[in-house]
Structure 1
Amino acid sequence: MIQRIQSVFLFLVAVAMVLVLIFPVWHQVNPDQTQIMTLDAWSLVTKDVASEQIIDSENKMFIGLLAIIAAGLAIFSLLQFKNRPKQMMINMINSLVMLTIVGLMVWVTHTANEVFNPNVNGAFVLGFWAVFAGLVSNILANRFIRKDEMLVRSVDRIR
């Protein structure tokens, strides 16, 4: 049934993945405060602070594509409410996709930080934390789906 609490959590997973696509993931300022490096779901951009000109841009499209896949899996899982085991499997795959996103974000920021400003860590912002919100929502959705499945099995046993 689409009005169950797990449907709300799966919708929140999709919203969190859209937030990853929209908002930046990480910011870092170089030691003399003349350049800023920003990672979003699509690129790693270095800008001059004074003129706002882009100095360097690297394509990081794989993060955005994985976020789109995670949002799509959440919506697909939301629509599979009649088949709870399939829904749980889709959610487990989605958890792996989101963990991959987190791993890639950390790896990209770590390698960029080594070159740009190795003495100071950058700041993770909304796009990064949205992945964790989506991960927690996905885990909660799976928990409630499992709870429903156990309830259905116990009712079948009583008959």
Structure 2
Amino acid sequence: MIQRVQTIFLFLVAVAMGITLSMEIWHQVIPDSGESFSLTALFLEKYDASGEVLLSESKWYIAALASFVGFLAIISIFQFRNRGRQMMLNMVNSLVMVGLVATIFITTNGINSELSLSQSGDYKIGFWVVLAAMVCNMLANRFIRKDEALVRSVDRIR
């Protein structure tokens, strides 16, 4: 039964990770020099005041975590026959998403501490959809538990 409510939420998790991979996650402007930093899932780039790239640093681990979360969500969709395994995959997915958020925070705070800036920068849509994905994953688990409780109650009646 792939047409359940939790399938929609798990699909939204996968879509959110696609958005995280394709959109900007964080942006910081240095007020004195006009230089700025931009973090995407793949790169941390430093721009000068004219918008030219001065430095580009690979952040492949953010993209790897986001891809893994999306992959686990897709796998979880097709585990509808085994609700226990589906819940376990979603729990692992929640842990990986917490790791993704922590990785983003550590990366952005590391840049701010290097530059000794008082402002922390602006988190963009690529970051906020990770939090939305966490909520969707939690709702998917809730509906899977409801299905499991319904099946158990029907088995008790027989």
TM-score by length of 1: 0.96
**1:26-105 to 2 correspondences below 5 Å:** 26-50=26-50, 52-105=51-104
Aligned partner of residue 134 in structure 1, secondary structure: helix
C-alpha distance in structure 2 between counterparts of 1:21 and 1:14, whole Å:
11
- Report runs of 4+ in structure 1 exceeding 2 Å deviation: none
C-alpha distance in structure 2 between counterparts of 1:49 and 1:2, whole Å:
51
Aligned partner of residue 71 in structure 1, secondary structure: helix
Say whether the 8 Å CA contact 1:30–1:117 is kept in structure 2: no
1:8 deviates by 0.3
Give 1:134's aligned residue: 133
**1:116-127 to 2 correspondences below 5 Å:** 116=115, 118-127=117-126
Range with bigger deviation, 138-147 or 24-33: 24-33
Range with bigger deviation, 110-119 or 75-84: 110-119
Aligned partner of residue 36 in structure 2, secondary structure: strand
C-alpha spacing 1:108/1:120, structure 2 compared with 1 (3 Å): same
Q: Cα deviation per residue 1:14-64 (whole Å; 9 max; x = unaligned)?
A: 0001111000110000122521101110111101131x2211121110000
Q: Cα deviation per residue 1:91-137 (whole Å; 9 max; x = unaligned)?
A: 00000110000000000000011223512120001000010010000
TM-score by length of 2: 0.97
Range with bigger deviation, 114-123 or 65-74: 114-123
Give RMSD over aligned pairs: 0.9
